[in-house]
Chains A and B, each alone.
Chain A
Amino acid sequence: MIWVIARREIGAMFLSPLAWIILAVIQTILGYMFLTNVDTFFVLQPQMMHLENTPGVTDIVITPLMQLAAIILLMIMPLITMRSIAEEKRNRTLSLLVSAPLSMTEIVLGKYLGLLLFVFILVSMLMLMPLSLYLGTSLDTGKLISIYLGMLLLLAAFAAIGLYLSSLTSNQTIAAVSSFGALLMLWVIDWIGSSNSEGQSLMAYLSIMQHHHSMLEGIFDSADIAYYLILICGFLGLTIRQLDRERLL
């Protein structure tokens, strides 16, 4: 059942030009940045020949690229998630799902799985760029896998937050703006953490980017995974609760 809804979701995304345009824009910008980073590497490479413990091509090309990708996607993901529930509310099609023999949990998980499929396509396409380097050099495969998983988890968390905010309103623009605000807040919350030492660890811990950063560095820490999973489950739970509550209003 969840799968039926998810298939419809991903199908509907690609029926509108939005998903295609988003994929194209991201791929173009990051492709350009990728080439710039490769250029930088060629400039740096002769200077680093004599040093010990130099950063490899993965650190110089791919890690900064994915950091940039995370920032861009923070702005883009709300555009993907905004329609998922808000549009159904606006068009009053939600009652099709509610009247079917499905629980709210199945409906929300179906919607979320649809978003995850999109995230998977998006990140896999981004990863093609680093993979193309295998043609000319060798990469740190372990680090690459960590980066891939890190991007997937980060976007999965973005999607869960976006889905929740989309369930609060029937207006897609409001859903997009509020999810963008929420994601940005989770990002900048560690700025206070890095500027004063008191309470630093808490704020740093709450920040979504801190956890992402360590995975980009190739550190696969179960605490980071737990952070993402808690975030995702929490927001999915809130979404289910929200939709259930609306029947009572």
Chain B
Amino acid sequence: MSEALVQVENLSRYYHKHRAISHLNFTLNAGEVLGFLGPNGAGKSTTMQVITGNLAPSEGQISIAGYDILEAPREAKRRLGYLPEHPPVYADAGVDEYLGYCARLHRIRRHQVGAAVAKVKQQCGLTDVGDRLIGNLSKGYQQRVGIAQALIHDPPVVILDEPTVGLDPIQIREIRELIRSLGSERSVILSTHILSEVQATCDRVQIIRDGELIYNATIDMLERSRDTSILIALHRPPALQVLHRLEAVDNVEALDKFRFRIILKPQASPEALVEASVQQDWGLYQLIPEQQSLEDLFIELTVGDDAPLA
């Protein structure tokens, strides 16, 4: 039995004649963090707005935990927490007041509001700013208030639209940790155009371009399937052709006299390189695996004229 919490079938959305997203199909399983990746204007935000019922789909179906967003919007929305691109916070309200209001909007009983607010404040690191006006908080704190608002009713599905935009590096790291911790008990959909964010937080990645889903894989699969490149440094390097002839090596590029970038063949292990170095006394003193595979993939998929991967 599959535990698909969010099921999107054949979803299309048009703005007048302009097609924003077309025939999207995907599911989100319980306890999964799904990264939604794409260049600006690819349709990420539209997809999220449609899933959360802020926009009506032109075609297709969305169900949240088995409830159709159009036919049973109330039940579906009850199970959703949504942080839009711009956090929907009232600048003239205090943090506690605002979160209390959100809790009431989500039909949390009056006597449980205080506990719910205290819990999300603790989760999102807002305990010290409870009585401050949201308008006076920094962008990072406003973003956290936005996330707290999405969590207040303890929803099984959380949808975050670019949650780390405009934050400083420390705040970004904190928010990522928060998202990771959410993933242990909830399902999260996260949209972003920052690649390292997906690698740092997600279990699965989907790449969208021009409204179409062009790539869908788990992060593990992604990392294993890509060509791996490594940097090595040798005290007594052989001729370039010698390195080239090694069985595991696909391509070699000399960076300077002692350092080389080596692209390994798929499924090959760098072990062979180390053995060769020992046998032929090259003096290997550095070996660094390069991890930029997702970025390569992203650029390959989104900049290319036609989609190479299905």
A→B interface (CB under 8 Å): 1, 4-5, 8, 12, 15-16, 91-103, 247-249
In the complex, the answer to whether B90 meets A247 with C-beta atoms within 8 Å is: no
In the complex, the answer to whether A99 meets B80 with C-beta atoms within 8 Å is: yes
27 chain-A/chain-B pairs, Cβ below 8 angstroms: A1-B105, A4-B101, A4-B105, A5-B105, A8-B101, A12-B92, A15-B92, A91-B86, A91-B90, A92-B86, A92-B88, A93-B88, A94-B88, A95-B54, A95-B84, A95-B88, A96-B88, A98-B53, A99-B84, A100-B77, A100-B105, A101-B73, A101-B77, A101-B107, A102-B74, A103-B73, A248-B56
Closest to A15 in B: B92
Shortest distance from the beta carbon of A136 to any chain B beta carbon, whole Å: 43
In the complex, the answer to whether B55 meets A247 with C-beta atoms within 8 Å is: yes
Shortest distance from the beta carbon of B55 to any chain A beta carbon, whole Å: 5
Contact A93/B89 with A8-B101, A100-B77, A101-B107 known, Cβ cut-off 8 Å: yes
**Chain B residues within 8 Å of chain A by Cβ, number:** 29
Shortest distance from the beta carbon of A16 to any chain B beta carbon, whole Å: 7
B→A interface (CB under 8 Å): 15, 49, 52-56, 73-75, 77-78, 80, 82, 84, 86, 88-93, 101-102, 104-107, 149
CB-defined contacts of B91 to chain A, threshold 8 Å = 91
Contact A101/B101 with A16-B92, A249-B15 known, Cβ cut-off 8 Å: no
Shortest distance from the beta carbon of B142 to any chain A beta carbon, whole Å: 12
A96 in complex: contacting residue of B74, B78, B149, CB < 8 Å: B149
CB-defined contacts of B78 to chain A, threshold 8 Å = 101
CB-defined contacts of B55 to chain A, threshold 8 Å = 247-248
In the complex, the answer to whether B101 meets A92 with C-beta atoms within 8 Å is: no
Closest to B97 in A: A11
CB-defined contacts of A92 to chain B, threshold 8 Å = 84, 86, 88
CB-defined contacts of B102 to chain A, threshold 8 Å = 96, 100
CB-defined contacts of B104 to chain A, threshold 8 Å = 4
Shortest distance from the beta carbon of B146 to any chain A beta carbon, whole Å: 9
Give complex CA distance A22, B52 in Å: 38
Question: A4-B104, A247-B54, A249-B15 are known contacts; what are 19 more A-B pairs with Cβ within 8 Å?
Answer: A5-B105, A93-B90, A94-B88, A95-B52, A95-B54, A95-B84, A96-B88, A96-B149, A98-B53, A98-B54, A99-B53, A99-B77, A99-B82, A99-B84, A100-B105, A101-B106, A101-B107, A102-B74, A102-B105
CB-defined contacts of A101 to chain B, threshold 8 Å = 73-75, 77-78, 106-107
Give complex CA distance A134, B191 in Å: 66
Give complex CA distance A202, B89 in Å: 47
The 4 lowest CB-CB distance pairs between A and B, nearest first, are A96-B88, A100-B105, A93-B88, A101-B77
Give complex CA distance A100, B55 in Å: 14
Closest to B49 in A: A95
CB-defined contacts of B105 to chain A, threshold 8 Å = 1, 4-5, 96-97, 100, 102
Shortest distance from the beta carbon of A220 to any chain B beta carbon, whole Å: 38
Give complex CA distance A8, B107 in Å: 15
CB-defined contacts of B89 to chain A, threshold 8 Å = 93
Give complex CA distance A74, B86 in Å: 35
Give complex CA distance A95, B84 in Å: 8
In the complex, the answer to whether A99 meets B107 with C-beta atoms within 8 Å is: no
In the complex, the answer to whether B106 meets A100 with C-beta atoms within 8 Å is: yes
Give complex CA distance A5, B104 in Å: 9
Contact A103/B88 with A4-B105, A96-B105, A248-B56 known, Cβ cut-off 8 Å: no
Closest to B146 in A: A96
Give complex CA distance A91, B142 in Å: 13
In the complex, the answer to whether A99 meets B90 with C-beta atoms within 8 Å is: no
CB-defined contacts of A249 to chain B, threshold 8 Å = 15
Give complex CA distance A96, B84 in Å: 9
Shortest distance from the beta carbon of B226 to any chain A beta carbon, whole Å: 37
Shortest distance from the beta carbon of B62 to any chain A beta carbon, whole Å: 13
Shortest distance from the beta carbon of B103 to any chain A beta carbon, whole Å: 10
Q: Which of A1, A4, A97 has the most CB of B within 10 A?
A: A4
Give complex CA distance A247, B53 in Å: 8
Give complex CA distance A96, B54 in Å: 10
Give complex CA distance A5, B101 in Å: 8
Give complex CA distance A249, B56 in Å: 8
CB-defined contacts of A97 to chain B, threshold 8 Å = 105
Give complex CA distance A16, B149 in Å: 23
Closest to A16 in B: B92
Closest to B102 in A: A96
CB-defined contacts of A12 to chain B, threshold 8 Å = 90, 92-93
In the complex, the answer to whether B82 meets A1 with C-beta atoms within 8 Å is: no
